Copies of this chain bind each other. A is one copy, B any other.
Amino acid sequence: MKREIIIKRRDAVATRAAILAAAHQRFLRESYDGVGLRDIAGDAGVDVALISRYFGGKEGLFRAVVQHDDKPDMFREPKSVEELPGFLAKLVVEDADENLQQRMEMFIIMLRSASSPKAGEIIRELAHHDVLGPLTELIGGEHGELRATMLLAILMGVGVVRTIMMVDGFADDDDIAECTERFRCLFAAALTC
Q: A interface vs B, CB < 8 Å?
A: 30-31, 33-34, 110-117, 120, 123-124, 127-128, 132, 143, 145-146, 148-150, 152-158, 160-162, 164-170, 172-173, 182-183, 185-186, 189-190, 193
Q: Given the complex of chains A and B, what is the CA–CA distance between A51 and B162 in angstroms?
A: 33
- A164's contact among B30, B115, B145, B146, by CB below 8 Å, is which? B115
Residues of chain B contacted by A146 (CB below 8 angstroms): 169-170, 172-173, 182
Q: Given the complex of chains A and B, what is the CA–CA distance between A143 and B152 in angstroms?
A: 24
- A165's contact among B123, B145, B165, by CB below 8 Å, is which? B123
User: Can you list 26 pairs linking A and B with CB atoms under 8 Å apart?
Assistant: A30-B115, A30-B116, A31-B31, A33-B116, A34-B115, A110-B165, A114-B164, A115-B164, A123-B165, A124-B166, A124-B167, A145-B172, A146-B169, A146-B172, A148-B169, A149-B169, A150-B186, A152-B161, A153-B154, A156-B161, A157-B157, A157-B158, A157-B160, A186-B186, A186-B190, A189-B189
Residues of chain B contacted by A160 (CB below 8 angstroms): 111, 114, 153, 156-157, 160
Additional A-B contacts beyond A31-B33, A149-B170, A156-B160 (13; CB < 8 A): A31-B115, A33-B116, A34-B117, A112-B115, A115-B164, A124-B165, A145-B169, A145-B172, A146-B173, A150-B169, A156-B157, A185-B189, A189-B190
